[in-house]
Structure 1
Amino acid sequence: MTGSSTHGIKTVLHPVTDLAKAKPVYAALLGIEPQYDDESYVGFEVEGQHIGLVPGGTNQGMTSPVAYWHVPDIEAKLAELTAAGATVNEPARQVGWGRVVATVTDPDGNVLGLLQDR
């Protein structure tokens, strides 16, 4: 099977109910303070990965952490995945910092995140 490649999993977003309580736990786990820190999102950059805390993520349909595969062309990858049997869960949308994200669900219900930096 051929298609566009990915740059690997570089982003994992965790839904949290209480950002103030979650932030010190992740800071302790990662051994660093967050680089992005406001009431709508907290993000840590560590060893080439981005770990994000999404307050109210469960209200956005996040039931567990979501790993985001970085791709060069999100629309092309969405087309490839749906042709292969995935279902679009969240279509491509801008989220800031020049990033576009989308999610799909595989045939077993696992959520796969896609992320394109523009």
Structure 2
Amino acid sequence: MLRGPATINLWADDMEAAKKWYADLLDVEPYFEAPGDGQPAAYYEFRIGDHLSELGLIDRRYAPSEAAATPGGAVVHWHVDDVRATLDRLLAMGATPYMPITERGPGFVTASVVDPFGNVLGIMYNEHYLEMLDR
């Protein structure tokens, strides 16, 4: 039924700053941009990772009125080859700690940060992810 994430969306008040921050982090520019009613872009979309997953940045003015203004809810973890190095880079780029590096079991380590725009960004190393790629 659920075949995998199609697009993961993050909110930002400053779209140009968010675009630059994520382009620097991901080392790729967004491939799609939606105009913002005479204002800066309302949406930027990146294709990233082993499956070219979509990561979308949406101007917070389009968020539902019930959307939380503080980090919380679900945490999407992106697989990385080195959790410590990635965490250090995220913190150096201005992210703040959310959950520290945590060993979850053999071959499974997670951590998460809050990006400068208030979104939780999870990172993980999971040997089962790598096994799936080998298939």
TM-score bracket, shorter-length normalisation: 0.3 to 0.5
Larger strand proportion of the pair: 1
Q: Higher relative contact order by CA 8 Å / sep ≥ 6: 1 or 2?
A: 1
Determine which structure has more spread, i.e. the larger CA radius of gyration.
2
Q: State TM-score, norm by structure 1.
A: 0.46
TM-score relative to the length of structure 2: 0.41
